[in-house]
Amino acid sequence: MKKLLGKLATGRAIGLMIGHRELVLSQVAFTPIGPLEMGRRTEPIEGDTIDVVIPRILAPVLESEAWKNAPIAIGLPVLSVFFSTRPIKSINLDAAPQILLHEVLRSSNLVIDDMDVDMIKSQPGKLPVASIIATRKKYLAPILHGLEKCGVRPSQVEPAPFALLRAAIRRHRTDRGTKSSLRIFLGAESGLAMLTAQDQPLAWRYFEMLEGEEATAVVSSVRSLRTLSRYYGVDTPPDLVWVHGRPELLHLDDTPQWRETHLRMQRFDGPGFNAADTAFGLAMGCHAEAKGLNLARSMRPRDSLLRLLPLGQIGLLVVTMAMATVFLQSGQDELKRNLYAVQTALINHKWMKNHSVADLEKEKASQTIRAKAIQQYLGTRIFWTDCLREISTPLPSTMTVSTVSGHCKLGDTKRDMTNDRLLALNMHAPITGNGVVPAEIDTYLAAMRSSQVIRKALPQIKLSALRWGTNGRTYRPFVAFTVTCQAETKKKPKAKVGKS
């Protein structure tokens, strides 16, 4: 699966983390489902110089046809880079990075020309701030010389914490609306605390972690950054702490030291404070859409037109347009079917062509009045034929109807007289030898009460005049009874009482 996604990659990048003891290289492919690490290499330094170790770890990767033109990002250790964020005064809004660095360091012995400097401006709060990174050219020279031996130039040179933050945001995005937050990266023996605003680093603190005292070290770094946060342009100190790495430390937020801070903590397994996760984040920084500080900005190779194109956004727009086209096409087909149905119906009404719209509207109004009159007429009538059919259908073969009588009181047409309608059935049913009333009577009454026609016209169904007798010819006992179906009685409105 990884090889298949690698073939579908829209771009590739290499991240190289320069450590004090070893170099770690990560090969990352930008696939449709996101960045995917395709390979990882580690090379110990073992007393050699950096310009000798870099070709050993990088040359085998560049021999591959797919990776020979991949951009390379270099990560520098925390203790080898100077990083600071300071508010910008109004007179220094357009100042060069070297001038701001000199003001921050305030050292007469420091030669700014001997340092590589980069700066980025942001505004996390009310005041604009400038984030500055710098390192000595003497430290960076052997790294560049090692890359030159391989015939490549760096696309990105940045501190390791920036790459860790990028990898952390990729896995666990900051909640929308969060102005500032603290991210803690834990390693085997040390950790890194970073203050961020709008996913941009403002300050970091490197700290050692002794076994059993991890919680104390974390709390100390958190308190330090929260106290100094206003000096980095943050209006309100963050109250949320994201802790990455060292998943075996389960109870960092359940210690007395942490409870005293009254802060919220969210724990994640990674990325941790290690070279492997840092190298992965470095490679992600080579993406065309990535922005941030870069000490090799002037040495960065010119991006090809293909890399500058936002292929992900283009693909999303193409898919969206295809779905919209399919949706509109289905709607058009539905309209065509409706149009054909209307045209077919108009064939049977050719006489409409000879009438104007006003005549048709007049005819429509006339038919509406007629339909309303018929509906009003039928609403106050009972269909006796339908009622008799519903009465005779469930009638058992052993029961007989002797007489059927209907009653309807006629009155003023302006008043509803439906409550004066009644249908009476005189019926006979044979009695068995035990003298019990036949069960067919109850079954028959239940069938009548369940009829929708009778319930609508004559809903009040009652059994009355129950009496026993004997047939004069057969001398068989029978029971005679009357079933009355009557319309629902409507309550008369109360007469208004006049005021005395």
Distances (CA, A) of 482 to 124, 246, 458: 91, 90, 15
Are 290 and 166 in contact by the 8 Å Cβ rule? The answer is yes
Q: Kindly report the CATH number that applies to the domain delimited by 384-486.
A: 3.30.70
Write out pLDDT tens, residues 270-288: 899 999 999 999 999 887 5
Rounded to an integer, the average pLDDT of 405-426 is 70
- The answer to whether the CB of 118 falls within 8 A of the CB of 132 is yes
Closest to 104 measured CA to CA, from 222, 203, 220: 203
Q: Has residue 1 got a pLDDT over 70?
A: no
Q: What is the pTM of this model?
A: 0.62
- Contact between 87 and 95 under an 8 Å Cβ cutoff? The reply is no
Over range 391-403, report the average pLDDT. 88
Identify the sign of the CA torsion 384, 386, 391, 397. positive
Summarize pLDDT for 98-151 with one digit per residue, the tens: 777 777 777 666 677 788 899 988 888 888 888 999 999 999 999 999 999 999
Quote the pLDDT of residue 246. 93
Least confident of 7-16, 294-303, 323-332, 386-395: 294-303
Segment 367-378, tens digit of pLDDT:
999 999 888 877
What is the rounded average pLDDT for all residues in the chain? Answer: 85
- Asked if residue 271 has a cis previous peptide bond (ω within 30° of 0), the answer is yes
**Which CATH fold topology does 2-309 show?**
Nucleotidyltransferase; domain 5 (3.30.420)
Please report, for the chain, the start and end positions of each structural domain, with discontinuous segments joined by +: 2-309, 384-486
DSSP 52-79: HHHHHHHHHHHTSTTTTT--EEEEE-GG
Q: What is the pLDDT of residue 304?
A: 61
Q: What is the pLDDT of residue 397?
A: 86
* Strands in 160-272 per DSSP E: 180-186, 190-197, 200-208, 240-244, 264-268
Percent of the chain with pLDDT over 90: 37
Average pLDDT over residues 297-305: 69
Whether residue 256 is predicted with pLDDT greater than 80 in this model: the reply is yes
Q: What is the 3-state secondary structure of 436-496?
A: CCCHHHHHHHHHHHCCHHHHHHCCEEEEEEEEEEECCCCCCEEEEEEEEEECCCCCCCCCC
In eight-state DSSP terms, residue 93 is T
Least confident segment among 317-321, 474-478, 483-487, 492-496: 492-496
- Show the DSSP H helices in 348-466 as ranges: 357-379, 384-392, 439-449, 452-457
Mean pLDDT on 460-476: 83
CA atoms within 13 A on the CB side of 424: 11
- Specify whether the CB–CB gap between 272 and 244 falls below 8 A: yes
Of the segments 169-178, 182-191, 339-348, 438-447, which one has the largest average pLDDT value?
A: 182-191
Spatial distance between the Cα atoms of 409 and 423, rounded to a whole number of angstroms: 12
DSSP state of 318: H
- SS3 (DSSP) at 10: coil
Q: To 10 degrees, what angle do helices 50-62 and 137-149 make? A: 40
**What is the tally of helices (H) and strands (E) in the chain?**
14, 17
pLDDT computed for residue 500 by the predictor: 44
Q: Which of the four pLDDT bands, split at 50, 70 and 90, describes residue 74?
A: very high
Which strands make up the sheet holding 477-486, listed edge to edge?
400-408, 421-430, 477-486, 460-470
Residue 245, Ramachandran bin (φ over 0: left; ψ between -120 and 50: alpha; else beta): left
